[in-house]
Amino acid sequence: MQQNQHSMKFNLLIKEGPYTHQASDSAYQFVKAALTLGHEVVRVFFYHDGVYNASRLNSPPVDDRNVTSRWVKLAEKHDLDLVICIAAALRRGILDQDSARRYGKDVDNIDSRFTVAGVGYFIEGSIIADRTLVFGD
């Protein structure tokens, strides 16, 4: 969507898991609305339990929303930068292929649309953005 003269750049931090707190749902709805209004989302950074949003192994009942799938589809449609904190992910057993190999695990579980990086990526997003929003405690 074309940016309007009052468009803003947002950086988001999500600190809660997908099914235990409303933070991820609220952040998702905010991003959808912001993009619809012509704003830019610089980055969505998942921290603490927020890294669970990236698990490709989440398998909710068919009558429930698939939070990971929703983020992935939104990211693909709008070329969003979805980043999870590597330290938080490792502590919680959320592993990309490189980490699984490095730590001798037989499976990785991060959806390929998410990037694993350090907290510096969140800081960089905050520098680039006009506003940084935090979702979760």
Residues marked active site are found at 85
Sequence-distant (≥ 6) Cβ neighbours of residue 46 within 8 angstroms:
14, 53, 54, 82, 83, 84, 85, 88, 114
What is the spatial distance between Cα 27 and Cα 53, in angstroms, rounded to a whole number?
Answer: 12
E strands present in the chain? 9-14, 40-46, 82-85, 114-117, 131-135
What is the spatial distance between Cα 109 and Cα 52, in angstroms, rounded to a whole number?
Answer: 10
Instruction: Please check whether residue 78 is in contact with residue 36, taking contact to mean a CB–CB distance below 8 angstroms.
Output: no
Rg for the chain, CA atoms, rounded:
15
